[in-house]
Amino acid sequence: MMGGETTEQGDCSRFKGNIPHCCNKHPTVVDLLPGTPYNQQIANCCKGGVLNSWAQDPATAASSFQLSVGQSGTTNKTVRVPVNFTLKAPGPGYTCGPAKIVKPSRFVTPDGRRETQAMMTWNVACTYSQFLAQEAPSCCVSFSSFCNDTIVPCSKCACGCQNTSQPGSCVESKASHIAPFVNSYTPLVRCTSHMCPVRVHWHIKLNYKEYWRVKITITNFNYNMNYTQWNLVVQHPNFDNLTQSFSFNYKSITPYTAINDTAMLWGIKFYNDMLLEAGPLGNVQSELLFRKDKATFTFEEGWAFPRRIYFNGDNCVMPTPNVYPGLPNASSHQLTSALGLLVTLLAAMALLFGHA
């Protein structure tokens, strides 16, 4: 094998000379780490199992490995298509379909003057399901606003309720020493009312005449995991007028060509592209500046809050609309002005008649 390795060699006792890399009929293949010796590498390999999303960085969104299979013949009549593919990233969640034979891949020589082609090429498509990946949601959303003291927290038990009958199922925030689980994929979260590994907070920070400003904070409550090259997908109608993202990378995602209301955000390399484990450094944040569209902008009925948020592809639990923080709007300003004028007028009349 080149660019990857199997986790077990299996029983290769029947081979006397050239011992194969693996003799299992159902091998588990893992990616090699960066810095692997060159004689074990192939092009586009050795990323340590970490793949970026295509939107973040197409150059690191693919990984390759190569294997030579013995006793399988040397023609496309004798080679059999492999079956029962399983993709783990890093745990369950992906379901892979059968391998389908497609048009053979073509390879261009270094001088660009000649093409060769593979004997046979097949594709396997794997789809992700959040419900297969974990029983409970993995993130939640909270809201706040500059003009309201109320902070709308994540919904209670959004990702499960605290198990009071089993001490140690979560970590108190004042704990001095935390022993990691053997299975690092199992979340070990801080004890909270929502019990989510990740919380996304949307804060409406400022309201200008022609712009408005939002602060996004992502907090990791999971003591068992850093989130490398994380990403956030947010749906809000004002993303068609996003002026600036200050500390996150931004890319517009348009599932419907005519509607630009979905954005993908991710960290800046070597600055905040890793969301560290729970603790003082376990958060990343940025601010977004939106330009107001007079035809659509309003602070009424929760319009300024996002419709949906995804963290690393998982749908986050949103607060219920009836608890959204109240925001100012034009009608409330007019009502306040009219009421103030009425009070002033009554006070003046009382003062006048009092002197009379």
CB-count burial class (<10 Å; 0-12, 13-18, 19+) for 346: exposed
Pairing of strands 148-152, 139-145: antiparallel
Q: Which CATH class is domain 136-160+188-323?
A: mainly beta
The alpha carbon of 173 is separated from its chain's Cα centroid by a whole number of angstroms, namely 24
Instruction: Report the pLDDT value the prediction gives residue 337, as an integer from 0 to 100.
Output: 41
Average pLDDT over residues 189-204: 95
pTM: 0.80
Average pLDDT over residues 95-121: 93
Q: What are the pLDDT digits (tens) for 232-270? A: 999 999 999 999 999 999 999 887 777 889 999 999 999
341 pLDDT higher than 70: no
Instruction: Report the pLDDT value the prediction gives residue 328, as an integer from 0 to 100.
Output: 65
DSSP conformational letter for 34: T
How many residues are recorded in the chain? Answer: 356
Instruction: Report the pLDDT value the prediction gives residue 332, as an integer from 0 to 100.
Output: 40
How far is the CA of 124 from the CAs of 52, 82, 84, 170, in angstroms? 19, 10, 10, 39
Beta-carbon contacts of 342 under 8 Å, excluding residues fewer than 6 positions away, are: none
291 pLDDT higher than 60: yes
Please, which pLDDT band fits residue 202 given cuts at 50, 70 and 90?
A: very high
Mean pLDDT, the chain, integer: 86
Average pLDDT over residues 149-170: 87
317 pLDDT higher than 70: yes
How far is the CA of 127 from the CAs of 28, 95, 253, in angstroms? 19, 5, 19
The residue ranking higher by pLDDT, 181 or 230, is 230
Average pLDDT over residues 321-336: 61
98 pLDDT higher than 70: yes
All CATH 2.60.40.290 domain ranges in the chain, comma separated = 136-160+188-323
Instruction: Report the pLDDT value the prediction gives residue 324, as an integer from 0 to 100.
Output: 86
